[in-house]
Amino acid sequence: MNRRTLMALMGAALLARPGLSVAQENHVAEAISHAREAVGQGLDGKADGLTDHAKQALEHAEAAQKEKSNRHVRAGIVHLKQAIKQGEKNRATAATRHAKAALAHLEQAPR
C-alpha cells in the first residue's frame, strides 16, 4: 500500500468517528500558523507580508468560529482585523502588536 492510499484511509477513519471535529482543529491550527508568519513578517518590518498572512489567518479563524463559537477565536478575529487594517496603512509596529495579540488568543483556543 502506498503512502497516499494509507493517508487517505487514515483520514477517512478519523472523519468516521462521531464527535470528532478534524476540520475545526485544522482551521485553528492554520490560523495559528499564519498568525505566527504574520508576526514574523511584522518583526522584519514587512507590513505587506504581515497583511497577507493576517488575511489568511483571518479566513481560517472565521471558518473555525463558524463551526464552533469560541471566545478566544472571536478575540483573535478582532485583533487580526486590526492587524490587517494597520498593515494596509503600512504601520508594521501597530500591526505586529495586533498580530501578536491575535496569536496569543488563538493559541488558547481549543484544538
- Please write the tens of the pLDDT for every residue from 3-41: 665 455 555 555 544 444 455 458 999 999 999 999 999
* Average pLDDT for 64-72: 95
pLDDT in tens, 75-103: 999 999 999 999 999 999 999 999 999 99
DSSP letter for 1, please.
-
Residues contacting residue 56 through CB under 8 Å, at least 6 positions apart: 30, 34
For the entire predicted model, the pTM comes to 0.78
pLDDT at residue number 9 = 53
pLDDT of residue 107 exceeding 60: yes
Cell (9 digits) for 31: 490560523
Return the CATH number of the domain spanning residue range 20-108: 1.20.120.660
Tell me the C-alpha distance between 97 and 52, whole Å: 16
Residue 16 CA to residue 10 CA, distance in Å, equals 10
